[in-house]
Structure 1
Amino acid sequence: MTDPSTYTPPKVWSWNKESGGKFASINRPIAGPTHDKELPVGRHPLQLYSLATPNGVKVTVMLEELLALGHSGAEYDAWLIRIDGNQFGSGFVAVNPNSKIPALMDRSGPAPIRVFESGAILMHLAEKFGALLPSGGQARAECLSWLFWQMGSAPFLGGGFGHFYAYAPTKIEYAIDRFAMEVKRQLDVLDRRLADNPYLAGDVYTIADIAVWPWYGGLAKALLYDAGEFLAVQDYKNVRRWADAIAERPAVQRGRMVNRTWGELSSQLHERHDASDFETRTQDKLEDGTTTGG
């Protein structure tokens, strides 16, 4: 690796496959598929292709919340897309040309509708079912403002702080300091908003909370990048109170399990095709042979 203190950018950048650190094998400077692979299609109207990263968790939580509200049309199949090159299969690229999870195919109408980008999926589902998005006024404006705040801010947390603090092949003080400062500022923004409001849009739980919680709630509870002590997350008491309240919701607990491939086996539901899968097809049951599902 080049010493960061001596690196001078060339006039024209060229791709060095060896410079990407942990994710070098799956990063590339071009789009499009690398191989032909069709996506599976299940029996439900909504087909989700995802992984339980914070962006993926947003959508599975949303779907579980909709089902908990009685919207039976929100039944879904959740297919696991491992970020090991599968995101470059032709079928997945056709659903999301950006080759990122999550991606949704809505097959409930006369023609399938693809939706990609987690914020767009949340809005699509909220409008489709008339739920978790205020219909107007200040509450709707707040909800959408915080939703778009998250979409614009999270790259500083994930691709910025998370990458340089946890994944980069060398620890670069300037980069870590720069992104740590911004992440702490973002936590302070949230903490001030939540000082006088139970939820981001005010008194009601909305897609704004669903979008922000997997990222900043996880960070505040020291679940991301093992960075809780480094960022002194205990100082953000309002964010932590809000994060705890959302974590107690049964739909959130179910949504966190879907497409999860790490942690306790009992918390991993690699694919979800029926509500009963949470009881019968978690990874601990599959591996010890006690599953009753087909």
Structure 2
Amino acid sequence: MIEVHYWPTPNGKKVTILLEELGVPYTIVPVNIGRGDQFKDEFLAISPNNRMPAIIDTEPKRDGSPVSVFESGAILFYLAEKEGRFWPQHDVQAKYEVTQWVVWQMANQGPKFGERGHFSRVPESAGDQTYARRRFNDEVHRLYGVLNNRLYDRRYLAGDEYTIADIASYPWTVSWQQQGIDLAEFPHFKRWFEELSERPAVQRGLAVTAGEPEDPASVTPEEQERRRKILYNQRARPAPSI
């Protein structure tokens, strides 16, 4: 069984989509990132960067002890390798075609799309955000161009086969409208996006929740202040004393 420590963000949905594609049983352990669950000691024990998702495989191959993995890209590699699907293992060129696009997503698409979302939500009281918004709007547009140019002469990001490269990138593009993207400008991406959107496992993976949404009106001013203190302007945590 795979325990998925999860909140329904694009990074979390990469994992649930792959698990649905694989048909592997899993359970959801909610990590409410708005409430600060990612800073709890029990979560940090499996994800020391205080970011979700993370998994615990209670039935790993060749070893009876549970295996924990953090970082969504590493989780995709682990699950695909374990199940022998969506990441070629015996053809080195095919393997690294996939690998480089998963790393591209982790190093480029995810961070830049995330920064765009962050600065689009910063209130005016925080100061002039014009440069940051322009920079990350442009980066998001540029990266859609990278996807579009990659897909003009191949069906999927790594070639003719659907792989974890596609699964990694797709959830970050579901909000293309909010990202200010005109799909008509990126026809090869549009074709890929529409095909993946029709996959039943993709639809199931996107639909995974982590419990009922919280009513903002139920959060007291004291709790709002507590959350602000732990969620924003984070700095290094002190190491535990020996």
Quickly name the TM-score band, shorter chain normalised: 0.7 to 0.9
For 1:59, the equivalent position in structure 2 comes to 15
Give the number of the structure with larger relative contact order, counting CA–CA contacts within 8 Å between residues 6 or more apart.
Answer: 2
Larger Rg: 1
CA–CA distance in structure 1, aligned partners of residues 56 and 171 of structure 2: 22
Partners of 2:30 and 2:211 within 8 A in 1: no
* 1:254 lines up with 2:204 in the alignment: yes
Q: 1:85 to 1:252 in 2, by over 3 A?
A: same
In structure 2, what is the equivalent of residue 145 of structure 1?
Answer: 100
Structure 2, unaligned stretches of length 5 or more?
A: 214-242
In the alignment, does 2:133 pair up with 1:181? Answer: no
| CA shift for structure 1 position 260 | 5.2
Matched, 1:103 2:54: yes
What TM-score results when the alignment is normalised by the length of structure 2? 0.80
> Which amino acid in structure 2 is aligned with residue 246 of structure 1?
L
Structure 1 residues 1-294: aligned runs within 5 Å: 45-67=1-23, 74-83=24-33, 84-109=35-60, 110-135=64-89, 136-153=91-108, 154-158=110-114, 160-165=115-120, 167-170=121-124, 172-215=129-172, 217-220=173-176, 222=177, 226-228=178-180, 231-259=181-209
SS at match of 1:133: coil
Q: TM-score, normalised by structure 1?
A: 0.66
What secondary structure sits across from 1:148 in the alignment?
helix
Percent identical among aligned pairs is: 44
Deviations 1:2-39 (A, max 9, x none): xxxxxxxxxxxxxxxxxxxxxxxxxxxxxxxxxxxxxx
Query: In structure 2, what is the Cα distance between the partners aligned to 1:245 and 1:76?
Result: 25
Q: CA deviation at 1:261?
A: 5.9
Matched residue of 2:45: which SS? Answer: helix
Checking the alignment, whether the CA contact within 8 Å between 1:51 and 1:102 is kept in structure 2 is yes
Distance in 2 between residues matched to 1:121 and 1:76, nearest whole Å: 13
Q: Do the aligned partners of 2:8 and 2:209 also contact (CA within 8 Å) in 1?
A: yes
Unaligned runs of 5+ in 1: 1-44, 68-73, 264-294
SS at match of 1:245: helix
CA offset at residue 227 of structure 1?
2.9
Cα RMSD over matched residues?
1.6
Runs of 4+ in 1 over 6 A off after TM superposition: none
CA displacement, residues 82-134 of structure 1 (integer Å, 9 cap, x when unaligned): 11111112211111111111010011041111100000000000111111002
Secondary structure of the residue aligned to 2:174 is helix
In 1, the alpha carbon distance for the partners of 2:147 and 2:175 equals 12
